[in-house]
Amino acid sequence: MVSWSGHVVPFIVTVAIWFVATGLIAWADNRERATFSRSMMIGSVAGILGLVVILGASLSAEVWAVYLGFIGALMVWGWHELSFLTGATAGPRRGPADPGVTGLARFRQAASTLMHHEVALAVTALLLISLSWDVPNQIGATVFVLMFAMRLISKINLFVGVPNTTSEMLPEHLAYLKSYFGPNRMTLLLGLSVAAIAGATAWFASMALAAPAGSAQMVGASLLTTLAFLGVLEHLFLALPFRDGMLWGWAIAGRQQGASQRNTHS
């Protein structure tokens, strides 16, 4: 039976945070580069605070602690996203792919554009797993690892090639990353990716439905179910003609206005 407090509220909370947080990060990363240092300072404070929140919430298995651990994990994740999209932690390669490069050489070049970011995410995931080992509330580490896995899958799919490579949310200073995207095509990998994340969604959903009504276990599983479901949608967007600007046009409006002004003066 569906519970308002155990199923519906966690769904609403997750979708609301996902929508607002994604928009805020896109807004910060599409502003003038002179603002990036201030954005990174604010993001770093939020990330460190998120880590403290995760550690504090991990000691309690109450419903409030589950929500806090979830929010803390998203704060740490947002910090990493901000650092990548501002270019603070990307990779040693900061330019487009060499013309005609294929195979393993192309993969190496693509990996070198993201290497520092991926290592930072992996180290953070391992840190959270080690700190959350044998604690009552492991939602923070679980959320971060789930998001890391889904993001890594999406990056691999973009490298191999997907039908829809819309990248309106990508800041102009990272436009060179588009040269590493594969051709517009449907692949077995994308289908398997959607199926795997959908399977994880169903697994979390079964846990949420089986947990005691209104319990911390129900809330935690519902949060993970919604997060995984959003991951399914994001991967479906790679196969469907969906534009990022349809949802977050308000976040990149400043960049679009600036581009229009430059085109007018040129």
Nearest-angstrom CA–CA distance, 251 and 103: 36
pLDDT score, position 49: 98
Dump pLDDT digits (tens) for 65-81.
Answer: 999 999 999 999 999 99
Alpha-carbon 91 to chain mean position = 18
Give pLDDT, residue 222. 97
User: Nearest to residue 221, comparing CAs of 119, 104, 103, 139?
Assistant: 139
Q: How far is CA 195 from CA 17, 191, 200, in A?
A: 25, 6, 9
Quote the pLDDT of residue 168.
74
- Of 88-92, 141-145, 257-261, least confident by mean pLDDT is 257-261
Cβ pair 74, 139 in contact under 8 A: no
Q: What is the pTM of this model?
A: 0.93
- pLDDT at residue 40 above 60? yes
- Which of 155-159, 204-208, 262-266 has the least mean pLDDT? 262-266
Inform me whether the pLDDT recorded for 229 exceeds 70. yes
Assess whether pLDDT exceeds 90 at residue 194. yes
pLDDT at 1: 76
Per-residue burial over 161-187, b if 16 or more Cβ lie within 10 Å, else e, is bbeeebebbbbeebeebebbbbeeeeb
- Position with higher pLDDT, 60 vs 30: 60
What average pLDDT score do residues 99-120 get? 95
Q: Is the pLDDT reported for residue 259 higher than 80?
A: no
Please say whether the beta carbons of 11 and 201 come within 8 A. no
Residue 258 reports pLDDT greater than 60: no
Q: Residue 256 above 90 pLDDT?
A: no
Q: For residue 234, what pLDDT is reported?
A: 92
Residue 245: predicted pLDDT: 67
In this model, does residue 263 exceed pLDDT 50? Answer: no
Range 190-204 average pLDDT: 97
Query: 120-129, 165-174, 176-185, 224-233: which range is least confident on average?
Result: 165-174
Q: How far is CA 260 from the centre of its chain?
A: 29
Mean pLDDT of 212-241: 94
pLDDT, residue 156, reads 96
**166: pLDDT strictly greater than 80:** no
Residue 253 has pLDDT above 80, yes or no: no
pLDDT reading at 261 higher than 60: no
What integer pLDDT is reported at residue 262 of this predicted model? Answer: 44
